[in-house]
Each structure stands twice: as C-alpha cells, then as structure tokens.
C-alpha cells in the first residue's frame, strides 16, 4: 500500500522563482505517491495532468475552482492540462460521498451543463491551451468483451473498502453494480489519455487510486493522485453546494460575491484566503498570524478576502468598488447607487390589490410563493426600508409604483 502524503494547506501563489513541486502542491491535501510526483517533475518532460468532471450541475462556484486553480498551476509551469468531460460517466453518476444512488442525467442535460461548465472553467483554466475530451469517445465504443476485461482488473473486496460503500452497506442501503463500474470507467479515462497526474477533491481519492491500479493492469505507469481539500460553504458546516444555498458562484455579480464572502465564519477565513485567492504567501502567513494574536479583526480579514476574490473573477479594482457599495448599504444604511427597475408583475395583481408573495416570486426575488411567505415572516422583506411582516397582506398598486422593494441585504428592485 502506497502511503498517502498529507500536506499542509497553502495558497495559490505566483510560480516564478519557486520549486515546481512546491508550486504544484501548495494547498494540496494528498499526494500519492510524493516521490512519484518529484520523479515526474525531474524527468523534464511535459506532464499530462488530468481533471475529469461530470457535468451534473450547470454552474460553478468557488469550491469547484479550488481544483481548477491547481490544474492552472500545471499549465503555468508548461504542462498539458487535460479536461475530461464525463458525458458518458455523467449518465452513471459518481457515487463519491453519496448516501444513495444518483439519478441518471439525460444527454440534453449533460450537453447543456458541459457547455456552461467550459465557459465558466475558462475563468480559471486557459481553455485554449487545454486538451478537452469527452469520455464517450472511448467508453461508448467498448463492447461487452472490453467491459469484462476492465471489470476483471479489480475485486469486489477492494471496491467495498470504499467508505461510502461501507456506510451504505451497513445501513442496508442498495449499491448498484453500475456504481461499482463508475471508478473503473473513470480509470479508463486515465488509460485512454495516458495521464501522468490526476486531480480531484479529497472525496475523489479512492477513484484516483483505482485509476493507478487500472493503468498498471493495462501496462501503463500509474498516475500520481493529487487531491485538494473540499471547501466548506458560507454556512461553515457543509461543503459548498448550490443545493445547500451556501455557495459563491464564479459568475455572480460582484456585490453578491462580496456580500456572501462577508458571511464566511471567522474560523474559515484563512482557509478561504489560501484556497480561493492569489495573495502572496507572505501576506497570507501574516494575516493568519495576526488573526491568531488578535491584532487583526476577522471582519477586516474578510474584507481582504472578499475584495481579492471579486478582483480575481470580475477584474482588478472591482473588489474595492464592491466594498464601497457594501458599506453604503450596510454601514450607512443607504440605498445602492444603482437599482434595477421592474414593473409590478401582472400575475401578482388581484382584485383587492397586489399579493406580495406572488410579486416576489414573479420578480425572481424568491424561488416560490412559499419561500416568499417565509422571507416575509422572517422579516427579510422591506418596502422603502419598512419591514413587511404579513404574507397575506395585499398592497394597493398605486402605492407601489416608484418604491424600492428589498429582499435580504443585497437584492433591491424599484417598482414601476
């Protein structure tokens, strides 16, 4: 058994003047094996660094960007980034970390998600220099003989060593044979593109190690497995996910990004700084030290974090501008300088007046009427700064025109 080398989390930093191994393992959780990566780098050849993605979601967030930023470091050092779009494995569903079998995606869903993924991944990775492949190129052409040969290279006992499979087995939850095949199909991607290194989150370590075994079985040198920490969401409890509404999207407006990052729990500020920004290592070490000593307040460090992330994805100077707008709303309690305008939705107008939950849902300020009711009951909806606390109240249409509807701290609409 090859030992897993766990590294201290670091930052994404400039690559010039630094040892390539240190550059590539900055922020990394696991390297298997460490010596294997050192030998590959010492060989002097262009390495093929693989990242496989199943397009199960159309939008990317900072959690996705953590591993993408590591892939970009390989590019910056002159190596070949290989992005595998799992248009075939996406139909199977990666069981990693799942407590139940995932639903299968349709081809239309996979195609739409793949297009969006590449557009957003281009904010981090140089897509023009990357090799982009779809694993249907080889997996869809395998016949039963090919599948049997692949399946014969790995045992059921080894597959059941996987933590999530063990947990489901103990809980009496079903595990399909298709889910056993998933790590093997992912490994075949590594065989087909002759991967030297495969990247993934820490929840992918099992799959990456299977890839090493399958490459060996097919007569190739086994890849180095390199994993990145999973980024907790803004709630500080669960990993970042759109499903948990604790995410910061890569294409969100600057003000939304800044506001969400200001909600990151104090204890996660350093981790976010190290995994999500391009700040210099010396500055990051200084921030961590000052936070520990109490000479730097967490809210000040969050401002540095939020501004740096906004600059990274929105452009230089946008972080400072977003901070200024944030203070205008949250410190001075003034309205934003620019507020989108929208007509009162016709579908919310009743005989007696305008039904507020229906208006919020129709304007996209709430996902549904029921969520709108909940927001009102929790005091999260204001009209010209005055809370609306009765979800059943209907307002006169003439009393709404020209007034500002506010949901939460950052969403404003001027009604007309």
Q: How confident is the model at residue 334 (pLDDT cuts 50, 70, 90)?
A: low
- Per-residue pLDDT at 10 exceeds 50: no
pTM of the predicted model over 0.85:
no
User: What's the whole-number mean pLDDT along residues 340-358?
Assistant: 85
Are residues 263 and 117 both part of a single domain?
no
**What pLDDT digit, counting tens, does each position of 147-193 carry?**
999 999 999 999 999 988 989 889 999 998 988 999 999 999 999 99
Two tokens, residue 84: 């595998």
Same domain, 326 and 346: no
- Cis before 33? omega within 30: yes
pLDDT number for residue 101:
53
Is residue 405 in some structural domain? yes
Same domain, 59 and 117: yes
The answer to whether the CB of 93 falls within 8 A of the CB of 79 is no
Range of the domain at 259: 254-330
Query: Tens digits of per-residue pLDDT, 78-98?
Result: 999 999 999 898 877 676 655
CATH of the domain at 32: 3.40.50.620
Backbone angles phi and psi of 290, in degrees to 5: -70, -35
**260 and 145 housed in the same domain:** no
Mean pLDDT of 387-394: 83
Confidence category of residue 14, pLDDT binned at 50, 70, 90: very low
Task: Identify the residue with better confidence: 293 or 401.
Answer: 293
Rounded (10°) CA dihedral 370, 373, 378, 382: 130
* Residue in this structure with the two tokens 């000479």, named with its chain if needed: 295
Specify whether 195 is located in the same domain as 103: yes
Q: Is residue 410 part of a domain?
A: yes
Q: Mark whether 203 and 106 lie in a shared domain.
A: yes
Percent of the chain with pLDDT over 90: 57
Q: Structurally, how many domains does the chain consist of?
A: 3
Residues 137 and 110 in one domain: yes
Q: Is a pLDDT exceeding 90 seen at residue 412? A: no
CATH code: domain of residue 396: 3.10.290.10
């Amino acid at each position: 058994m090859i030992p897993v080398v766990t590294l201290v989390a670091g930052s994404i930093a400039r690559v010039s003047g630094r040892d390539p191994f240190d550059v590539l393992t900055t922020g990394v959780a696991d390297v298997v094996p460490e010596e294997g990566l050192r030998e590959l780098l010492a060989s002097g050849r262009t390495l093929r660094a693989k990242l496989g993605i199943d397009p199960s979601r159309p939008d990317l967030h900072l959690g996705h960007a953590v591993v993408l930023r590591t892939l970009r470091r390989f590019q910056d050092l002159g190596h070949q980034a290989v992005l595998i779009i799992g248009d075939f494995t996406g139909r199977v569903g990666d069981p990693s970390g799942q407590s139940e079998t995932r639903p299968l995606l349709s081809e239309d869903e996979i195609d739409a998600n793949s297009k969006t993924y590449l557009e957003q991944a281009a904010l981090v990775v140089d897509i023009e220099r990357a090799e982009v492949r779809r694993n249907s190129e080889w997996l869809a052409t395998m016949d039963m003989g090919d599948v049997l040969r692949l399946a014969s290279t790995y045992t059921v006992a080894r597959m059941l060593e996987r933590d999530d499979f063990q947990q489901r087995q103990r809980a009496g939850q079903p595990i399909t044979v298709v889910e056993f095949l998933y790590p093997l199909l992912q490994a075949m991607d590594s065989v087909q593109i002759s991967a030297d290194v495969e990247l993934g989150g820490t929840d992918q370590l099992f799959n990456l190690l299977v890839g090493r075994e399958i490459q060996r079985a097919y007569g190739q040198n086994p890849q180095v497995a390199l994993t990145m920490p999973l980024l907790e969401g803004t709630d500080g409890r669960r990993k970042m996910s759109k499903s948990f509404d604790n995410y910061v999207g890569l294409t969100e407006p600057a003000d939304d990004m800044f506001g969400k990052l200001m909600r990151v729990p104090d204890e996660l500020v350093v981790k976010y700084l190290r995994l999500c920004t391009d700040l210099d290592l010396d500055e990051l070490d200084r921030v961590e030290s000052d936070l520990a000593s109490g000479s730097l307040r967490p809210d000040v460090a969050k401002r540095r974090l939020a501004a740096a992330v906004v600059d990274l994805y929105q452009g230089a100077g946008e972080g400072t501008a977003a901070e200024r707008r944030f203070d205008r709303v949250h410190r001075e309690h003034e309205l934003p300088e620019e507020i989108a305008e929208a007509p009162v939705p016709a579908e919310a107008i009743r005989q007696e007046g305008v039904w507020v939950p229906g208006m919020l849902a129709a304007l996209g300020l709430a996902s549904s009427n029921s969520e709108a009711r909940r927001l009102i009951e929790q005091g999260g909806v204001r009209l010209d700064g005055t809370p609306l606390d009765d979800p059943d109240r209907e307002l006169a249409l003439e009393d709404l025109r020209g007034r500002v509807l506010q949901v939460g701290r950052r969403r404003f609409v001027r009604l007309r």
